Amino acid sequence: MKRARLVPPLALVAAVSVAATACRAPAAQDTADGPRTASAAVDYNPQPYDKLKDGGTYTTAGTFDDQGNPFHVNATLTAARVWAWYNADAITYTPTGGVRYNPDYYSDVKVTVDGGHQKVVLTLNPKATFNDGTPIDWRAIEATWKANNGSRKEFGAASTDGYDRITAVDRGKDAKQAVIRFRGVNPAWPALFSTFLHPKAATAGNFNTAYVKKAHPEWGAGPYTVGSWDTHSGNLSFVRNPRWWGKKGKLDKRVYVNLEPTAAVNAFKNGQLDYVSAVDAESLEQLKGLKGTEIRSGGSPFEYALNFNTRSPILADKAVRKAVVESVDRPQIARIQFQGLDHKEPLPGSAVLYSFQKRYEDNVAAVLKYAPGQAPRTLDAAGWKPGPDGIRVKNGRKLEIGYTLLGDDPLGKATAGALAAMLKPAGIHLVVKKGDDADFAKILNEHRFDLILSGNRSMDPFGTRYLCDFYCADRDSNLTGAGTPALDKAIRATAGLADLGEQARAVNEVERKALAQYAFLPLFSGPSTYGVKKGLANVGATIFLSPLPETVGWQK
């Protein structure tokens, strides 16, 4: 669908017992003692539909998001995952990013280019119908485009890229055919219509607020629909949809139970859950060897980064941001994350592409250098002078920077302590400010932070189309607020390049310019590692693959 914003990195396998001390990077190339390419391995017990039992329940830890519309800027990964269980999964991907059209929604897809402009003709399945009886036809495609193309600012769209290059969505030979016309060529167009909105959900009011802590199963479609949605407990479930026209879901019920990560591991051990993320080295050890359990681990389309709020008075100074970047020992942060685990990875070098993808370049290493000896000189030149307590001062103001720490997990505390130790020699005092996990989206969206660690998960392989979401100064999705009109123009120019190779070269060049704003520092990705009950099929580490809900179930 899109890049989905992640909650803090509790879903990663990570260490909880590590000294919060800074140390010098061991290698000049800024690697994390690992391979040059991240793992693209998958591990999810792939099974065909006819090899699955009919019936059963699949239960995991989870809950719904404050904003349940995944097209909205305030939505996180949770919204995308919940949405997929009761709304259209019209386009999915193979683990390596190959495009798959779901014939239950799109019975035919034709893409042509004439005069340098692309036309996509989507023929929708005659049986495709929203749960309220509204036909899924060209108007759903049109409504999704209009809500996300940026022409109406009252829509809080997460990403307008690609939608803003569509010049028209028209009715084709009949209502069940949508003709989409682009200005130029957009090779990443499948990411725009992997799911879609009910036309009633595409008014500004409904787009922004209808899904806030609510589900609208009547506007959904698919093999499952909402069974229960408990706003008090946060629990929810999905059951087979009697209005579904395709192969029925193999499961009787899909259940989410609202549990904290550590409680989830205990619930899995007690047989209450069928699948759980290994949240730290200790929990992974608890899951290993557990009767009837498999550990499934593979590559990860996740990335966590340190975001600098350039709107805050202290970080409006580019020299301060540069000194912070020069002080942060990324390999040490990676070692904190993966202490005690059999996991090594290269440090992430881009916000939009992963090292296992074609055309990836390490733009971070080319621009953002770990240079703790240079950081004091950077601050000296900007007029920040050492104070008697070692904290630098300028115009009577101490160089104190807030770091928002969400939750109480030991890993988060260790990371905060390590960052404080890294910044101290330069004369920067890191003030750790505690926040509640539940306020994560609000803290980001209202920019109530100086520094914060947050992440993104790629829901599709077309990473280059998200360059503007990360770096354009006028985008709400750009958490840092950094950028310039000239940079925005250069970023947007990359979207008009039809050749993927040419586009990637331009994106890499522009991203290096964007990183030179010293406002965004990729830190780590981590593995996707899970404890899974044996026999559960099509669940686990999948990279870009999102198995269709009707294919998830228990192996015969």
pLDDT at 89 over 70: yes
User: How many CB atoms sit inside 10 A of residue 527's CB?
Assistant: 25
> Mean pLDDT in the chain?
90
Position 14 scores a pLDDT of: 27
The answer to which of 43-52, 191-200, 462-471 has the lowest mean pLDDT is 462-471
Q: Are strands 400-406 and 451-458 parallel, antiparallel or unpaired?
A: parallel
Q: In this structure, what DSSP letter does residue 331 have?
A: H
Query: Under CATH, what is the fold of the domain 305-524?
Result: Dipeptide-binding Protein; domain 3 (3.10.105)
Would residue 133 be called left, alpha or beta, if left means φ above 0 and alpha means ψ between -120 and 50 degrees? left
Please provide residue 92's backbone torsions phi and psi, each rounded to the nearest 5 degrees: -125, -175
| Contact assessment for residue 215 and residue 83, using Cβ atoms and an 8 Å cutoff | no
pLDDT at 308 over 80: yes
Position 34 scores a pLDDT of: 58
Each as own residue / partner, the long-range contacts of residues 202-210 (CB below 8 Å, 24 or more positions apart, any chain) are 202/143, 202/144, 202/146, 202/147, 204/152, 204/154, 204/155, 207/69, 207/71, 207/72, 207/147, 207/155, 207/156, 207/157, 208/69, 208/72, 208/154, 208/155, 208/156, 210/69
pLDDT in tens, 205-243: 999 999 999 999 999 999 999 999 999 999 999 999 999
pLDDT in tens, 244-260: 999 999 999 999 999 98
pLDDT in tens, 485-508: 999 999 999 987 878 888 899 999
Banded model confidence at residue 157, pLDDT cuts 50, 70, 90:
very high
Q: In this structure, what DSSP letter does residue 212 have?
A: B
What number does CATH give the domain 91-206?
Answer: 3.90.76.10
Best CA proximity match to 522, nearest among 417, 344, 368, 356: 368
| Contact assessment for residue 201 and residue 55, using Cβ atoms and an 8 Å cutoff | no
Q: What angle do helix axes 318-327 and 410-423 make, rounded to 10 degrees?
A: 110
| Contact assessment for residue 515 and residue 364, using Cβ atoms and an 8 Å cutoff | yes
Banded model confidence at residue 18, pLDDT cuts 50, 70, 90:
very low
| Contact assessment for residue 277 and residue 530, using Cβ atoms and an 8 Å cutoff | yes
Give the alpha-carbon dihedral of 205, 209, 215, 219, to 10 degrees.
20
Position 294 scores a pLDDT of: 96
Alpha helices for 328-477 (secondary structure H): 330-338, 363-367, 375-381, 410-423, 440-445, 467-471
pLDDT in tens, 389-399: 999 999 999 99
Q: In this structure, what DSSP letter does residue 191 have?
A: G
Give the alpha-carbon dihedral of 326, 367, 520, 331, to 10 degrees.
-60
Q: Which two tokens stand for residue 305?
A: 């980064």
Name the strand (E) or helix (H) holding 4: strand 3-6
Residues 6+ apart with CB under 8 A from 32: 330, 331, 334, 335, 344, 345, 346, 347, 524
Q: In whole angstroms, what is the distance from residue 324 CA to residue 518 CA?
A: 9
Domains 91-206 and 305-524 alike in fold: no
pTM of the complete model? 0.82
| Contact assessment for residue 367 and residue 509, using Cβ atoms and an 8 Å cutoff | no
Domain range list for the chain: 91-206, 305-524
Task: Compute the average pLDDT of residues 440-449.
Answer: 84
Q: Choose between 44 and 6: higher pLDDT.
A: 44
Task: Compute the average pLDDT of residues 29-34.
Answer: 45
